[in-house]
Amino acid sequence: MPRETHIEIKGSCLCVKVFGKYSLERSKKLFTSIFDWIENENLSKVLIDIREMAGKISVVDRFNLANMLQEYRSRFIKIAFLVREDHQKPTKIFETVANNRGIYVITATDEEDIKEWIDSVTLNSVKKKAVH
């Protein structure tokens, strides 16, 4: 059986590359695994690259997965998804739902945009903005 997920730590970021065919159940297990890693390693950033994942993610699945992130809202964590165009269309519902639930999430097709965003906001800058 081919390996379908590659995980490594780079600085304070957990980098996850997903291969194979999409399934909701697999995605839920992956999220649980990711949050175990960031808890155990005291990480604050996650980069998930799903560009090589096969299959389509339904709008309902995107909504449900974004809702699942609420469970991990107690920590300041930034989650970036590197995606193909077809993962973002018709709307950025995953990003919108997650952000509306207080989770720092971005989905983008450009690796440079992701890197810039994931390094831009820190917990200290968020606290400073909230004070002013």
CATH classification at residue 11: 3.30.750.24
Could you list the residue range(s) of the whole structural domain that residue 85 is in?
Answer: 5-131
- Model confidence at 129: pLDDT above 80: no
pLDDT tens track for 2-43: 468 999 999 889 999 999 999 999 999 999 999 899 889 999
For CA atoms 102, 104, 109, 110, give the dihedral sign. positive
17, 30 contact by CB (below 8 A): no
pLDDT tens track for 47-103: 999 999 998 889 899 999 999 888 877 667 899 999 988 877 766 888 899 999 888
Query: Count of domains in the chain?
Result: 1
